[in-house]
Homo-oligomer: A and B are copies of this chain.
Amino acid sequence: MAKRFPVEFYAERILAHDRLGLSRAITLVESTLPSDRELAHQVMQQILPFAGNSVRIGITGVPGVGKSTFIETFGNYVTNTLGKKLAVLAIDPTSQKTGGSILGDKTRMETLAGNPMAYIRPSPAGKSLGGVTRSTRESIMLCEAAGFEVIFVETVGVGQSETAVNEMVDFFLLLMLAGAGDELQGIKKGIMEMADAVVITKADGQNLQKARVARAEFQSALHLFPRSASGWIPKVSISSALENTGIPEIWKTIEAYLETVRNGSFFEQKRQNQNLHWLHETIRQTLLDRFFAKPEVLKTLPELEQKVLHGEVSAFAAAEEILKLN
């Protein structure tokens, strides 16, 4: 077990913008040990009044879209040109399968990793989606209390984590490749409709013309989508990390969005709704986890699933049978 410190230690170091203290606090909130959870709650309670002062940006896209390169280029723009402190958090529950992490590759984001204005933190491999999302959300608040002004939350765009990320960020950015069609199959249904902006990546060289066509196509497609409650219409832009183009435009889009949603109560209301979402979601998930971990349930459920699959019993009758075990 990692070394643990008194609650004041974590809170003081974080509020002093100490990176080592921040890292230790994130390690603490990532733990599922009951004693660590208790300590983590106390730390969170102390930093709570200092959290919230950042722009939280979700960034997703399938492997191959150039996500690391984009985040590096965009990240360096945020720190170097805008002069803002940036934290990058990565969620990758799919790494459970391989035991590796999307950020495990040490060659990823080399210049950003060495940037004193940036802080990069991958999610630990081998954790459940529920665990990763809770610790990511608490990590966002810890980073904010530690003085970070922009937070990127990165996901791989193929799993269920995007819906969770959408519930913890202010702005959701979807990276896509030009030449729409087959490559979309990797993207989960529903992700497109969550996007506040779409960026067509690798818009350089022979790809540039294709990227322009894709931009027009996506812009008119997004126009057909149900409008967000904020009234914001998602923007589509093109970018080349290689030629360093399109990056300031993306930040301008985010600023325009923030102006739209802050011009009224939407911004605050969205964050409040997200807080309520996480309250309810945590209750729900914990209740279900407890039930499905019961030995009798673990034994009976697979048998009933087979009976349902073979049409021997209806799904509802099977459900009532297993619910007797609660």
When the two chains form their complex, are residues A291 and B282 in contact, meaning their CB atoms are under 8 A apart?
Answer: no
When the two chains form their complex, are residues A316 and B45 in contact, meaning their CB atoms are under 8 A apart?
Answer: no
Complex: how many Å from CA A188 to CA B226? 7
The interface residues of chain A, by DSSP majority, are classed as helix
Q: How large is the interface on A (under 10, 10 to 19, 20 to 34, 35 or more residues)?
A: 35 or more
Q: Which residues of A contact B (CB under 8 A)?
A: 37, 41, 44-45, 48-49, 52, 134, 137-138, 141, 180-182, 184-194, 217-218, 220-221, 223-228, 272, 275-279, 282-284, 286-288, 290-291, 304-305, 308-309, 311-320, 322-323, 326
Neighbouring B residues of A304 by C-beta, 8 Å? 279
Count the copies. Answer: 2
Known: A134-B316, A282-B315, A288-B284. A223 touches B180 (CB 8 A): yes
When the two chains form their complex, are residues A185 and B226 in contact, meaning their CB atoms are under 8 A apart?
Answer: yes
When the two chains form their complex, are residues B138 and A282 in contact, meaning their CB atoms are under 8 A apart?
Answer: no
When the two chains form their complex, are residues A276 and B41 in contact, meaning their CB atoms are under 8 A apart?
Answer: no
Complex: how many Å from CA A217 to CA B304? 46
Identify which of A37, A180, A187, A318 gathers the most chain B CB atoms within 10 Å of its CB. Answer: A318
- Shortest Cβ gap from A292 to chain B (Å): 8
Residue of B181, B187, B287, B323 near A223 (CB, 8 A) is: B181
Q: In this complex, what residue of B is CB-closest to A135?
A: B316
Q: In this complex, what residue of B is CB-closest to A44?
A: B314
When the two chains form their complex, are residues A278 and B315 in contact, meaning their CB atoms are under 8 A apart?
Answer: yes
Could you list some 14 contacts between A and B, CB below 8 A? A44-B317, A45-B313, A180-B224, A190-B190, A192-B193, A217-B220, A217-B224, A218-B224, A220-B221, A275-B309, A276-B305, A276-B309, A286-B323, A287-B288
When the two chains form their complex, are residues B184 and A194 in contact, meaning their CB atoms are under 8 A apart?
Answer: no
Q: In this complex, what residue of B is CB-closest to A284?
A: B288
Neighbouring B residues of A194 by C-beta, 8 Å? 189
Complex: how many Å from CA A226 to CA B319? 32
Neighbouring B residues of A282 by C-beta, 8 Å? 315-316, 319-320
Q: In this complex, what residue of B is CB-closest to A326?
A: B287
Q: In this complex, what residue of B is CB-closest to A222?
A: B221
Complex: how many Å from CA A289 to CA B134? 23
